[in-house]
Amino acid sequence: MQRPYNFAPGPAALPQPVLEQAAAEMLDWQGAGMSVMEVSHRSAAFEEMHNRSLDNLRKLLKLPDDFTILYLQGGASGHNAAIPMNICAPDDVANMVITGAWSVKSAKDAQPYCQVHEAANAKTADGGFLHVPEFASWDLKPAAMTLICSNETVHGVQFPEFPDVASHDAGALVVDCSSDILSRPFDWSKIGVAFGGAQKNIGPAGLALVIIRKDLLGKAQAITPRVWNYQTAHDANSLHHTPSTYGIYLAGLVFDWLLEQGGVDAIEQINNQKAALLYDYIDQSSMYENRVQVPYRSKMNIPFFLADEALNAEFLAQSVDAGLLNLRGHRSVGGMRASIYNSMPLAGVQALVAFMQEFERTH
């Protein structure tokens, strides 16, 4: 069955072999006579699967032993609040580096739990975001944490590398990596906490991940609910309450699939190829435009505009007919956006470019 290519920003496309395996196991998971959703999270079979997925994720991320992986809920948004609650005292400063819509939200959500300080803000005069400000220009205060969003899903702005905030007494680097985790290697020596929702490169919505250096545990504010306390989650191997069991199962299948592809280094090569194909075509075209400064262009979310915006509706209608779904840009940005996470094959981007070429030729 040839399915359409889904360019949605999240919930996003999942690898087809993963969906096929999940479908095959729906009624009878591992001979249990029931689906994995109906199995106790306290059963030996579940725990074995849970631990295997954690081990494989650690392997894929090349994660050092001094970090723990927590499977939680509440989306990335919940952890915008829970992270300062866990690692800051109420009077500690949290530096925020604003490079798009998601870091704006992180700063807002952190407000009740720490002293939020805007260390940089890349917003343009017309409200857009097109770059990451130079590290040397950031106004970093002595702080318990400094937050960045490694890939701004809405604006298509990505950090090419992670800043060394520890050398500036700016606390733990906290990275919202919802939309680029597992798409490229991360330098863990720079990171204190990496977090995100699963619904782009990992699995279904409902599972959230917090990857935290263990020395940052055990500092939660007294008001922290127990389900949001990272020490509690770490001590219980993320099984202190009922986790997102189906989310963990599907994430595990995605990790198996990614290991079969050759892991993060191999998928990064394909991601680079896919992004280059689309950007190179857009840049030489007189019909399409991407406005993000070249060094900060996202390899996961590629916004673009038609020179004649009056053609937007026709472009979208024809793209659906061509089997290319969900290309409409975010409502705050307009235009188009192609989200090309790990599970988007090179053939999907080739099909998109061929469609854009034909649309340009006929218009």
Q: Which is nearer to ligand PMP, 39 or 158 (CB)?
A: 158
Q: Residue 65 is inside which H or E element, if any?
A: none
Class of residue 187 by CB neighbours under 10 A (exposed 0-12, middle 13-18, buried 19+): exposed
CB of 205 to ligand PMP, least distance (A): 7
* Cα-Cα end-to-end distance for the chain: 32
Identify whether 138 is a catalytic site residue: no
Which residues contact ligand PMP by CB under 6 A? Answer: 10, 75-77, 102, 149, 153, 176, 178-179, 197
Identify whether 176 is a catalytic site residue: yes
Runs of H (alpha helix) within the chain = 16-24, 44-61, 75-87, 101-110, 230-235, 245-260, 263-284, 312-321, 346-362
User: Annotated catalytic residue: which of 102, 138, 228, 257?
Assistant: 102
254 within 8 A of 210, measured Cβ to Cβ: no
Q: Which is nearer to ligand PMP, 208 or 353 (CB)?
A: 208
Identify whether 200 is a catalytic site residue: yes
Q: How far apart are CA 296 and CA 279, in angstroms?
A: 12
Q: Which is nearer to ligand PMP, 101 or 311 (CB)?
A: 101
CB of 151 to ligand PMP, least distance (A): 6
User: Annotated catalytic residue: which of 92, 138, 200, 228?
Assistant: 200
Q: How far is CA 85 from the centre of its chain?
A: 21
CB of 272 to ligand PMP, least distance (A): 20
Q: Which is nearer to ligand PMP, 243 or 281 (CB)?
A: 243
181: closest CA among 352, 6, 10?
A: 10
CB of 45 to ligand PMP, least distance (A): 28
Q: Which is nearer to ligand PMP, 128 or 323 (CB)?
A: 128
145 within 8 A of 94, measured Cβ to Cβ: yes
CB of 176 to ligand PMP, least distance (A): 5
Per DSSP bridges, beta strands 288-289 and 301-306 are antiparallel
Q: Active-site residue numbers? A: 102, 176, 200
